[in-house]
Amino acid sequence: MSIILWIDPWTTTVWFAVLRKDWVKNEIIDYWIFKTTPKIELKYKLLEIWNDIKIIINKYSPDLIVVEKLYFTTNVKTGIDVAQARGVVLYEAIKSNIDILEYTPLQVKKAITWNGKANKLQLQTAIKILFWLGSIPKPDDAADAIGLAYMGCLEITSL
């Protein structure tokens, strides 16, 4: 059995999902977000993110952490801030001696829906089917979290 933790760090919210992988099935254990304090300096947000990541790692003892690969858009300042938040996550994973995998959103969508340009509803529906859920995961970004963690399940299966 393996525990896979997915983390998507931003500076105001950090998404996470936790999956359990065994020989028979993949099971969603938990998924949600935690938020940093609004309107404080970035350095304090990074400290809050680090503390929350430590709590999640201690609570679930993951064997693998999957992190979304960072890609820049037109807002370089936001990208740099997110890169720093991502660095906090990677630091804590390395410090805790946990393996790390990284995937782009396109890789996740293609692996799960067979369409790298799938929209949120398509991804949510695919996650619902994959995990035999009664309804699509909410909020919308929860499907991204579960999808990235599922990529870790696929990687563990192929090892």
**All domains in the chain, ordered by first residue:** 2-158 (3.30.420.10)
User: Where do the DSSP E strands lie in 10-158?
Assistant: 13-21, 26-35, 64-68, 99-103
Which pLDDT score is estimated for 1?
A: 74
Cα–Cα distance between 7 and 64 in angstroms, integer?
11
Other beta carbons within 10 Å of 132: 9
Residue 8 catalytic? yes
User: Where do the DSSP E strands lie in 80-151?
Assistant: 99-103
Residues of the chain with pLDDT > 90, as a percent, come to: 34
Among residues 52, 68, 92, 144, the one annotated as catalytic is 68
Average pLDDT of span 19-38: 86
Residue 155 catalytic? no
Average pLDDT of span 91-116: 91
Average pLDDT of span 95-111: 90
Q: Tell me the two tokens of residue 94.
A: 């390395």
Which pLDDT score is estimated for 47?
A: 97
Among residues 8, 48, 52, 92, the one annotated as catalytic is 8
Residue 63 catalytic? no
DSSP letter, residue 70: P
Which pLDDT score is estimated for 157?
A: 54
Model confidence, pTM: 0.83
